[in-house]
Structure 1
Amino acid sequence: MTSPSAATARIAYQGEPGANSHIVCQQHYPSMESVACASFEEVFATVRGGDADLAMIPIDNSIAGRVADIHHFLPDSGLHIVAEHFLRIQFHLMAVPGASLESLRTVHSHVHALGQCRRVIAEHGLTTVISGDTAGAAREIRDAADPTQAAIAPPLAAEIYGLDVLAADVEDEDHNTTRFIVLSREDVQASAGNGPVVTTFVFNVRNLPAALYKALGGFATNGVNMTKLESYMVDGEFTATQFLAEVDGHPDDPPVARALEELAFFTTDVKLLGVYPAAPFRATMES
Structure 2
Amino acid sequence: MTAPRIAYQGEPGANSHLVCRQHYPDHDALACASFEDVFAAVETGEAALAMIPIDNSIAGRVADIHHFLPGSTLHIVAEHFLRIQFVLLGVPGSTLDSVKTVHSHVHALGQCRKAIRELGLSAVVSGDTAGAAREVAEMGDPSQAAISPPLAAEIYGLEVLREDVEDEDHNTTRFVVLSRELVEAPAGNGPVVTSFVFNVRNIPAALYKALGGFATNGVNMTKLESYMVGGHFAATQFLAEVDGHPSDPPLARALEELRFFTDDVKILGVYPAARERGE
- On whether the aligned pair clears a TM of 0.5, the verdict is yes
Q: Indicate whether 1:107 and 2:66 are aligned.
A: no
Q: Indicate whether 1:259 and 2:241 are aligned.
A: no
User: What's the CA shift for 1:236?
Assistant: 2.1
Q: Distance in 1 between matches of 2:112 and 2:128?
A: 15
User: What's the CA shift for 1:127?
Assistant: 1.8
Matching residue within 217, 223, 226 for 2:218: 223
Q: Distance in 2 between matches of 1:88 and 1:18?
A: 15
Give ranges in structure 2 of 5+ residues lacking alignment: none
Amino acid at match of 1:89: I
Q: How does 1:184-263 map to 2 (within 5 A)?
A: 184-263=179-258
User: What's the CA shift for 1:131?
Assistant: 1.2
Q: Indicate whether 1:44 and 2:39 are aligned.
A: yes
CA RMSD of aligned residues (A): 1.0
User: What's the CA shift for 1:100?
Assistant: 1.6
Q: Indicate whether 1:73 and 2:68 are aligned.
A: yes
**Aligned twin of 1:3:** none
Say if 2:3 and 2:26, in contact at 8 Å, map to a contact too: no
Q: Distance in 2 between matches of 1:140 and 1:78?
A: 36
Q: Distance in 1 between matches of 2:103 and 2:266?
A: 40
User: What's the CA shift for 1:245?
Assistant: 0.4
Q: Indicate whether 1:150 and 2:145 are aligned.
A: yes
Q: Indicate whether 1:35 and 2:30 are aligned.
A: yes
Q: Distance in 2 between matches of 1:205 and 1:234?
A: 11
Three-state SS of the structure 2 residue aligned to 1:75 is helix
Q: Distance in 2 between matches of 1:146 and 1:199?
A: 49
**Aligned twin of 1:129:** 124
Higher mean Cα deviation, 181-190 or 108-117?
A: 108-117
Percent of pairs identical after alignment? 78
**Runs of at least 4 residues of structure 1 off by over 3 A?**
none
Q: Distance in 2 between matches of 1:242 and 1:170?
A: 38
User: What's the CA shift for 1:76?
Assistant: 1.2
